[in-house]
Structure 1
């Protein structure tokens, strides 16, 4: 095998790996966006539930599950959007 063919083979191998990594990042970004949106919806559902409203009326505290869902979902959503760029 000549030196030129070997260099071309290495270049295309590196280029193929680069494309594969880019696609994996995009897939991960899409999964993070979906998971983030689901977590935010779940967090808001917990926040808006009847038990949570009664608890907030009595003690003034928001359930930690609501905070975890909404904040964790927002962070996941932002990271997912950044992975798509």
Structure 2
């Protein structure tokens, strides 16, 4: 297996983990209360979901 494919697989795994972590933060009770009161969602949630999506796309491109 080449180095690029190995890096791609690692990026895919990290991307999925980050996206799930971000979604868990977004769906937490404290975030739901914050969204209900102020309309804002935690920046950590968006950072996790967007960072996970970027890692996932880069991983898929490396594996191809």
Specify the TM-score bucket, using the shorter chain as the normaliser: over 0.9
Any gaps of 5 or more consecutive residues in structure 2? Answer: none
After superposition, the CA RMSD in angstroms is 0.9
Once the two structures are TM-superposed, the CA of residue 68 in structure 1 deviates from its matched residue by 0.2
Q: Distance in 1 between matches of 2:52 and 2:23?
A: 10
Aligned to 2:62: 83
TM-score, structure 1 normalization: 0.74
Higher gyration radius (CA):
1
Aligned to 1:72: 51
Q: Distance in 1 between matches of 2:61 and 2:41?
A: 30
Q: Distance in 1 between matches of 2:6 and 2:57?
A: 15
- Give 4+ residue runs of structure 1 displaced > 3 Å after superposition: none
TM-score, structure 2 normalization: 0.98
Any gaps of 5 or more consecutive residues in structure 1? Answer: 1-21
Aligned to 1:34: 13
Once the two structures are TM-superposed, the CA of residue 41 in structure 1 deviates from its matched residue by 0.2
Answering whether residue 6 of structure 2 is matched by residue 52 of structure 1, we say no
The answer to which structure, 1 or 2, has the higher relative contact order (CA under 8 A, 6+ apart) is 2
